[in-house]
Amino acid sequence: MTLALCPGSFDPVTNGHLDIIERAASHFEHVIVAIIGNPSKEPLFTLEERKTFLLDSLFEYDNVEIDSFNGLLVKYAKARGVNVIVKGLRAVSDFDYEIQMAQMNHRLTGVDTFFLPTRNEYSYLSASLVREIASFGGEIEGVVPGHVELALKKRFPL
Ligand code: PNS
C-alpha cells in the first residue's frame, strides 16, 4: 500500500492545507495527516482542537487518517511505514526551507518528499496570516472551513 504523510502545525487548518490533503488522497491509497504536537511556537489552538478541525473537515475521506507526533518527523514516518511525505509549495519563498527539510529528511532515513503546487487562489494563504487577520477582527470567510471560522471568531470576539 502506498502511504503518504502530510505533516504540519495546522494552527488552524486552512483551505490551502485541505486542497493539498484532498489532492494527495486522490493519488495515494492512504494519507496520514500528522499534526506536530510540540511546534516551535506556542500554538493558538490546542492539539485536540487542531485535530477536531481536521476531523470535521475530512470525515468524508475514507483513506485519510488524522494523527499527531512529537519530535522528528522522519522517526514518526519510519514507525508508520510511510512511503512519501507530501508538502504543498506556494511561492518561491517556500522553496528554500522546504527543499532543505526534504533533503535532510531523505538523508536521515531515505524517505522522499513530493511537492504539490498550491492552487493559485491559495498561493498567498498561510495559517499565521489567518491567525493575525482574525485576531484584528478581519474577514476570514472562504480561506478556512466554516467551523474554523467560527472557532476563530469565538477566540477573538469583536
Ligand atoms: O505547518 P508547518 O509549521 O510548516 O509544519 C512544519 C513541520 C511540522 C512539518 C516541520 O517543522 C517538521 O517536520 N517538524 C518536526 C521536527 C523535524 O523533523 N525537524 C527536522 C526537519 S529536517
Query: Does the Cβ of 9 fall within 6 Å of ligand 1?
Result: yes
Asked if residues 112 and 106 have their Cβ atoms less than 8 Å apart, the reply is yes
- pLDDT band at residue 33, thresholds of 50, 70 and 90? very high
Query: Does the Cβ of 12 fall within 6 Å of ligand 1?
Result: no
Q: Which of 5, 72, 74 to mutate to test the pocket of ligand 1 (most atoms within 8 A of CB)?
A: 72
Q: Whose CA is nearest to atom 10 of ligand 1?
A: 8
Quote the pTM value: 0.97
Asked if residues 71 and 34 have their Cβ atoms less than 8 Å apart, the reply is no
pLDDT tens by residue, 43-75: 999 999 999 999 999 999 999 999 999 999 999
pLDDT tens by residue, 81-140: 999 999 999 988 899 999 999 999 999 999 999 999 999 999 999 999 999 999 999 999
